[in-house]
Structure 1
Amino acid sequence: MAFETYLIYLAAVAVFFATPPDTSQLLIISNSVRYGLRKSAYTIAGDLSANCLQMTGAAFGLAAIIATSATAFSVIKWLGVAYLIYIGIQLFRSRDDVNDVDANQSGQAFRLYRQGFVTSMANPFAVVFFGALFPQFIDPALAILPQLLILGVTYLIVDGAILLLWGWLGVRAASALKRHSFGLINKICGALMIAAAALLGSKDFQTR
């Protein structure tokens, strides 16, 4: 892969993230508001782990299956919508007490990781996106695997940095909100999750 091609790829990824927050980013904001940036790192790790699997799936042709199967696409998408709504409802029903956040500390890291992983994996657009993006920047005359690794690692670094930025913004918002009501934070986070579900549900992919 030529260095110029890599720079174009880097610019393309940067432009892709120059949009309003998507479902995963809304989840990071929500968890950062409730738990702080340090603990929301578990959610970021879950999201990036899912991205690794999605990239692998795209490399092995899973993107083509999802892109041509309306049933597979719809099942994955609506499972994601249901999961996000479930999280949102749980937040609305949670206690208006800061101690509620500290409950079950032993399982909290895994729960936050699982939220990030499932939310990202339940988005069928990701696999299709990687399947369409990577081939545009791969030189078929060179070894494919090293190029895929470079493209994938670059995406993960940029994605992780963007997620950390959204999480930091969430923490800044939380510092102001906690002066008024922790219960309000729960309601806002629940609204963010339901908004993320609506965002995912409103998207469509035209299959052949």
Structure 2
Amino acid sequence: MMLETYVAYLLVVAAFFVTPPSTSQLLIISNSISHGLDRSINTIAGDLFANAIQIAAAGLGLAAIVAASSHAFTIIKWLGVIYLVWTGIRVFRSESTGFGSSGVRTETSNWTLFRQGFFTSLSNPFAIIFFGALLPQFIASDRGLSLQILILGGTYLVVDGLTLVGWGWLGIRAANVLRRYSSRLVSRCCGLVMILAAALLASKSFAGI
């Protein structure tokens, strides 16, 4: 892979993240507010692990299968919507006493946070289609395919991870302002953010995208 090609890919990926927060980013914001940025790293890890699977699937040519199966597409999409709504309602209904002295909740396990990030990201079938469309544009057919996919996929994961950490940090800053008024308000905002993420997924389904 030529350096010019890699730089072009890096610019395309960076531009992709210069957008309003996506479903996964909204989840990171919510968990960072609720549990702190250090523990929301588990959610980020889950999200990136799901992305790694999707990149591998795209590399194996599974993007065409997902794109051609409208039933599988719809089922995966709505499972993601239901999961996010369920999580958002739980957060919305949580009591302010659920916060520790540091101002964040501590009862949710790291595994649960990881699972939230993993399933939220994995439930988005657009990701496989996206990777399946993006990666071939920067792959040289006369060079090792596996190594190129590893480099391009790894680069995406690094940029994505840094972006998610940035959104989590912004969420913490917002939480510090909100907690001056009410920790219950923080719970309400976190829950609404989660439900908004579900609405974004649902709206794409309704639009038939």
- Asked if Structure 1 and Structure 2 have the same fold, meaning a TM-score greater than 0.5 normalized by the shorter chain, the answer is yes
Question: What are structure 1's unaligned runs of at least 5 residues?
Answer: none
Aligned to 2:68: 68
1:27 aligns with 2:31: no
Aligned to 1:79: 79
Q: What amino acid is the match of 2:24? A: S
Aligned partner of residue 203 in structure 1, secondary structure: helix
In the comparison of the two structures, how many residue pairs are matched?
204
1:148 aligns with 2:152: no
| 1:73 Cα deviation from its structure 2 partner | 0.6
| 1:29 Cα deviation from its structure 2 partner | 0.2
Q: Deviation digits for residues 136-177 of structure 1, max 9, x if unmatched?
A: 100001110110000011000000000000000001011111
Aligned to 2:192: 191
More off after superposition, 141-150 vs 88-97: 88-97
Equivalent residues in 2 for 1:128-167 (5 A)? 128-167=129-168
Q: 1:124 to 1:93 in 2, by over 3 A?
A: same
> What value does the CA root-mean-square deviation take over the aligned residues?
1.4
Aligned to 1:101: 105
Aligned to 1:42: 42
Mapped partners of 1:65, 1:167: distance in 2: 34
Question: What are structure 2's unaligned runs of at least 5 residues?
Answer: none
When normalised by structure 2's length, the TM-score is: 0.94
Aligned to 2:54: 54
When normalised by structure 1's length, the TM-score is: 0.94
Mapped partners of 2:204, 2:135: distance in 1: 22
Q: What amino acid is the match of 1:84? A: L
Mapped partners of 1:80, 1:167: distance in 2: 21
Aligned partner of residue 20 in structure 1, secondary structure: coil
| 1:203 Cα deviation from its structure 2 partner | 1.5
Aligned to 1:4: 4
Aligned partner of residue 96 in structure 2, secondary structure: coil
Q: Deviation digits for residues 47-86 of structure 1, max 9, x if unmatched?
A: 0000011111111122111111111110100000000000
| 1:202 Cα deviation from its structure 2 partner | 1.3
| 1:206 Cα deviation from its structure 2 partner | 6.3
Q: Deviation digits for residues 75-122 of structure 1, max 9, x if unmatched?
A: 100000000000111011111221482226xxx110100100010001
Aligned to 2:92: 92
